[in-house]
Amino acid sequence: MKTLKLLSILLSTILFSCNKDKNEPTITVAQPANHSNHSLGNMLHIEATFEDDVDLKSYSVFIGDFDGNHTHDFHYLSDSNISGNSYEFHEHTMIPDTLNSMEYYIHFNVTDAADKVTSERIMIHIM
């Protein structure tokens, strides 16, 4: 009986240790390219892949300044709960023709099921 109990504990330990989330989620941005130029009044294409070794939980993508402060002159925010170990993000947003020509940053934040967070920032130039 003790052997069976010990074997059960050992097997449970092995199974649970195999499912541990060992890595932070990853973000691979396909578009736009970092430091790319974009014109006022045109469509901005945003595409990225979010991955985790176990399970994803949520993401947020927004346009702001370097420090991650949301800008009200170029309002864009997309966030959602997700699951699985891979998620394809693909959206378009119109670049307002009333913006001042300057740089903006697209901020990507991804959280996995273990609440590990990864962030990525892409600079775009608006002309």
Per DSSP, 23 falls in state S
Mean pLDDT of the chain: 89
> What is the domain class of 23-126 according to CATH?
mainly beta
Q: Which of 15-24, 26-35, 83-92 has the lowest mean pLDDT?
A: 15-24
Q: What is the pLDDT of residue 72?
A: 82
Q: Is the pLDDT of residue 125 over 90?
A: yes
Q: Is the pLDDT of residue 104 over 60?
A: yes
The residue-averaged pLDDT of 113-119 equals 97
* Chain mean position to CA 117: 9
Extents of the domains making up the chain: 23-126
Q: Is the pLDDT of residue 3 over 90?
A: no
Residues 27-86: tens digit of each pLDDT: 999 999 999 999 999 999 999 999 999 999 999 999 999 999 988 889 999 999 999 999
Q: What is the pLDDT of residue 84?
A: 97
Q: What is the pLDDT of residue 8?
A: 56
The residue-averaged pLDDT of 93-118 equals 95
Q: What is the pLDDT of residue 18?
A: 52
